[in-house]
Amino acid sequence: MRNFILIAFVTVFTLSLSAQGFSKANTKEKNNSGAQQEVDPNGPIIEFEKQTIDYGTIDKGANGMREFKFTNTGKSPLKITRVKSSCGCTIPIYPKQEIMPGESNVIQVKYNTNKAGRFSKSVSIYTNTVPERSVLRIKGKVVDPNSPGPIQKEKNMLEL
């Protein structure tokens, strides 16, 4: 009898929790900590044309500046509160003024191309939207045109 009561209690408790989750599913989004936040239907919305830029293969010392274009598709002014890159080799430049509904702007990202090799970096954008954080990514490969390639390295080794 105790087992039956315990099973009935757990079932009722579980059903009540899932019913709560379904009724509020369309009005909440998870924030960075996993907790849910209310979505403001009249709030700002940041929409990027693309969230990843692939530099491809570029020469060492080349221009590392790229732009992420975005638009405020919401109903109130968008404010970028801070921007944080994953390392010191990536410098973001962002607008400090509010972006009005329907307006577009850019976030510039400059990657230091003075070091050869592959790279993959992220830039976190914090705004007054829900969710408050968006992540942009850059990737590519920097090559040194003055560095001997694999064939030249083999020739040098054979000459020794």
And the tokens for 117? 């090799």
Domain 40-143 has CATH 2.60.40.10: yes
Using one digit for the tens of pLDDT, what is the confidence trace for 36-67? 566 788 999 999 999 999 999 999 999 999 99
Report residue 21's pLDDT band, with 50, 70 and 90 as the boundaries: very low
In whole angstroms, give the CA distance from residue 148 to residue 140: 20
- Whether 25 has a pLDDT exceeding 70, the answer reads no
Q: Evaluate the omega torsion of the peptide bond into residue 131 and state whether it is cis, within 30 degrees of 0.
A: yes
Q: Delimit the domains of the chain by residue range.
A: 40-143
Q: 85-101: per-residue pLDDT in tens? A: 999 999 999 999 999 99
| Coil vs helix vs strand at 58 | strand
Q: What is the DSSP letter of 80?
A: E
Whole-number Å distance between alpha carbons of 144 and 88: 21
pLDDT tier at 34, thresholds 50, 70, 90: low
pLDDT band at 5; cut points 50, 70, 90: low
Can you tell me the distance from the alpha carbon of 129 to that of 28, in angstroms, rounded to the nearest whole number? 12
| Residue 90 in tokens | 């990536």
Give residue for tokens 């001997």.
148
Chain-centre distance for alpha carbon 59: 26
